[in-house]
Amino acid sequence: DIVMTQSPLSLPVTPGEPASISCRSSQSLLHSNGFTYVDWYLQKPGQSPQLLIYLGSNRASGVPDRFSVSGSGTDFTLKISRVEAEDVGIYYCMQALQTPLTFGGGTRVEIK
């Protein structure tokens, strides 16, 4: 199985400030078709996870452009340019390169 490792575990943030979450995979998520099979989800308190980013760096429908992803291969960083109160929750990265699909352990983002 591909192991997904996220850091930090918890991230206190100040509204208006940037934030970064790291995700590392135990093997490259770059497919031979040129796509990178890593996705990002946000699980807001009491809700189901919602898709933020797919195929490496593509924002899902309705996701603000303050969310972006950098990195390639095995190392990825989700960046929030200016955190807003509605961004609190647990962020998960997930690899979709091969089954079983696996998730990172999650990063809890909370307002200071």
By CB under 8 A, name the binding residues for other proteins.
Answer: 1, 37, 39, 41, 47-51, 54-55, 60-61, 92, 94, 96-106
71 or 104, CB closer to other proteins? 104
1 or 17, CB closer to other proteins? 1
16 or 99, CB closer to other proteins? 99
Helix (H, G, I), strand (E, B) or coil at 109: strand
Q: How far is the CB of 76 from other proteins (least distance, A)?
A: 14
Rounded distance between C-alpha atoms, residue 18 and residue 37, angstroms: 25
- Residues 88/110, Cβ–Cβ less than 8 Å: yes
| Angle in degrees, CA 12, 14, 18, rounded to 5 | 95
Q: How far is the CB of 65 from other proteins (least distance, A)?
A: 18
